[in-house]
Amino acid sequence: MTNENKMLSAAPAWQPTREIELIVGTPPGGGQDRPARTLMRALVSAKRVKVPMRLSNIAGKGGGNAWDALRARAGDPHVLSISSLPLLSNRILGISDFDHAALTPLANLYSEYLAFIVPANSAIRSAAQMYDLLKANPGATPIALATAIGSTNHIALGQLLSHAGADPRALKLRVFDSALYAVDDVVAGNAQVGVISAVSARKALESGTARVLAVSAPARLGGVFAEAPTWTELAVPCIIGQWRGVMGAPGIEAAHIEFWAQALAAAVESSEWKDDLAANSWSADFMSGAKLRTFLDAERDFVDGMLRALGLIG
């Protein structure tokens, strides 16, 4: 038996004694809501949580309202939240006065790559054409994204424009609390381009109301995205994904952290989790403990540099 398997099979020193609340910072169906619902099913399937679980949607501030609610529950191991990049960018931008260091990082679950989409009847026929339009005049093309200024989606656009030698500060952005709302904005023709988590764009692509131009993944995605090139194929350095993880409340005890690390590690090995991972074009990227803290600290430095390039901080 490996050390990891021994860890997963060992009886935890603490277990939940009452209902678990999982707080997410997007509306139902949004980018944090989907993994939260899958995770709840996987935790039950893996027989790691034997008490009731409920999900609370507290949207706003790019997820910030949910993290505010989590922070207010200091010392409570029965409340969790889905984490994503705005937890870091909100602090850097002054939207929030805290980041991951004020909470308890428990695990990172996966990365979700981005799709660059246009309305089905758009005159923009290719990623190269979109790139040229943004290079020539970044402010002439309305772009929809979620869930906040400074999000992964915004940073991806910054990478494109920086490579093109154009000013990313000139972008004309339409920002929504959920990727689903941003997709609707594209389909309605209010935005000419959407930079959206891939799974959020899938229904619009399947229905034929939108088209995908490119993805930000390191390799082509499957299914409805199979024909969409990566930016790397087009000689544009833009490989970036939205990571999703799990945060605990500040000040929880070591036994609480150990329980959740074991439970989450078991959940991502369940068939329910792996099936949803494949169905949603999510890329497995589990980490916990010191590796996770090192990742988040490095990500904070990366985001700080990109937000400076975007002109969002001095």
Residue 2 has pLDDT above 70, yes or no: no
Q: What is the pLDDT of residue 283?
A: 86
Q: What's the rounded Cα separation, in Å, for the pair 102 and 117?
A: 36
Would the pLDDT of 227 be above 70? yes
What average pLDDT does the chain have? 93
Instruction: Compute CA distances 304 → 36, 86, 213, whole Å.
Output: 27, 12, 28
Rounded distance between C-alpha atoms, residue 295 and residue 111, angstroms: 13
**CA dist., res. 268 & res. 4, Å (int):** 14
Q: Convert the pLDDT of each residue in 97-113 to its tens digit.
A: 999 999 999 999 999 99
Where would I find the H helices in the chain? 3-9, 33-45, 64-71, 86-93, 127-136, 152-164, 179-187, 198-207, 254-267, 271-279, 289-309
Share of the chain above pLDDT 90, in %: 81
Handedness of CA 55, 59, 62, 67 (dihedral sign): negative
Tally Cβ neighbours within 10 Å of residue 281: 21
**CA–CA separation, 201 and 192 (whole Å):** 14
pLDDT digits (tens, 9 = 90+) for 233-279: 999 999 999 899 999 999 999 999 999 999 999 999 999 999 999 88
Residue 10, pLDDT score: 62
pLDDT level of residue 307 (50, 70, 90 thresholds) = very high
Q: Can you give the pTM of this predicted structure? A: 0.82
Query: Where residue 175 falls among pLDDT bands split at 50, 70, 90?
Result: very high
Res 62: pLDDT: 85
Give the tens place of pLDDT for each residue, 123-140: 999 999 999 999 999 999
